[in-house]
Structure 1
Amino acid sequence: MSKLFTIGYSGLDSAGFVKLLQANDVNVVCDVRSSPYSTYKPDFSRGPFRAFLNESDIKYAFMGDQLGARPKDRTCYVGSQATYERIAATQPFKKGLERLRLGVKQLNLALVCSERDPIECHRALLICRNLPDLRTVISHIHTDGKIETQDQFDERLVQYHNSAPPPLFRVPKDWEKSVSLAYERQGRAIAYREPDNDKKQGEDE
């Protein structure tokens, strides 16, 4: 079994981004943005992005049609907001997870989106959460080079939402409940909302 990383390119240029990938022996970048284009960082739009990765002997795979956070399927929305639970239940999403499971058997993969911190991105809150069988090989690469394991991410997320009950009031499985609650709260906070027609859409996921 190889490794599954996640990384966001915000705050990095192409050289710095590749340097972090190479430092962690990443073989394939899995682009999980629904729309793989960037107006504020055009080097990370699909064509140029693939080109500079290939120049560094890193393969590129677009997976945003399966694992993106802004699906076209209207059943994934409640009102104007996408919901991670509904996205996770779709067949395209499940097929995308299977592609990751197959790929990580032989290669080191990196899920890529724009957000710097995985706590603000669906790559951790939606995709990694639905790969419990791979959690021991999942790590998040930060822009300073720090590596955060999935267990460490869960702990930080619980602290972020202060969702753990006081020790004296804890019962068995409290930790699992606290983690689940933190994921649900953060998922609702960051899940994509369709903009009003008169508002400009920002960077995609």
Structure 2
Amino acid sequence: MGLDVFGVGYEGLDLDGLVSKLRLRGVRTLVDVRLNPISRKRGLSKTALRTRLVSEDIGYRHLPALGNPRDNREGFADVVGPVALGARERFAALMETEAAHDALDEIITLSEFGTVALLCFEQDETRCHRELVISAVRERFASA
């Protein structure tokens, strides 16, 4: 059994564009890793997004334990340097909580039923905490 998990950012997409991207990748479950799943973009806040995904036969899970705190997000705008390193180290420490471990395990379980996409806003995964979440999922899966 393999692990089929990837990241998707909705920056530059509307709801239809996001759903199209998910359908093209054969996503079975979308896991929202935003700390607060709200958006100024129509249809991309938690309730509206879940409703649309269910109508498309795509599951939705919000796992706030894998969200990046607002005051740590700016550091992800850079990929090198002390601010970038500090933000990533802070988020990595948050990933060591029991709640985060449980959430990572849930993603692995969900992947047993099909492709899982991890959602956040940022299109460029190297500038998003989602990259660290995916790495942590892969590490836990490999060590299981």
* Map of 1:57 onto structure 2: 57
* Cα deviation 1:164-192 (Å, max 9, x = unaligned): xxxxxxxxxxxxxxxxxxxxxxxxxxxxx
Matches within 5 A, 1:11-30: 11-30=12-31
Whole-Å separation in 2 of the counterparts to 1:113 and 1:88: 16
* Cα deviation 1:132-151 (Å, max 9, x = unaligned): 2558xxxxxxxxxxxxxxxx
Q: What is the aligned length?
A: 123
Partner-residue secondary structure (3-state), 1:132: helix
Whole-Å separation in 1 of the counterparts to 2:128 and 2:141: 19
Taking structure 1 as the reference length, the TM-score comes to 0.56
Partner-residue secondary structure (3-state), 1:44: coil
Partner-residue secondary structure (3-state), 1:43: coil
* Map of 1:93 onto structure 2: 100
* Map of 1:45 onto structure 2: 45
- 2:133 aligns with one of 124, 127, 136: 127
* Map of 2:68 onto structure 1: 69
Partner-residue secondary structure (3-state), 2:126: helix
1:8 and 1:112 in contact (8 A); partners too: yes
Offset at residue 69 of structure 1 (A): 1.1
* Map of 2:8 onto structure 1: 7
Taking structure 2 as the reference length, the TM-score comes to 0.78
Matches within 5 A, 1:171-186: none
Offset at residue 42 of structure 1 (A): 3.1
Partner-residue secondary structure (3-state), 1:86: helix
Whole-Å separation in 2 of the counterparts to 1:134 and 1:17: 27
Whole-Å separation in 2 of the counterparts to 1:104 and 1:5: 10
Which consecutive residues of structure 1, in runs of 5 or more, have no partner in the other structure? 72-80, 136-205
* Cα deviation 1:81-131 (Å, max 9, x = unaligned): 78123112111111111111111122211100001110111111x212213
Offset at residue 4 of structure 1 (A): 0.6
| Larger RCO, structure (CA 8 Å, separation 6 or more) | 2
Offset at residue 13 of structure 1 (A): 1.0
Which consecutive residues of structure 2, in runs of 5 or more, have no partner in the other structure? 71-86
Whole-Å separation in 2 of the counterparts to 1:54 and 1:27: 10
Question: Counterpart of 1:8 in structure 2: which amino acid?
Answer: G
Structure 1 vs Structure 2 CA RMSD: 1.9
Larger Rg: 1
User: Identity percentage over the alignment?
Assistant: 28
Partner-residue secondary structure (3-state), 2:22: helix
Partner-residue secondary structure (3-state), 2:99: helix
**4+ runs of 1 displaced by more than 4 Å?**
none
Whole-Å separation in 1 of the counterparts to 2:34 and 2:62: 8
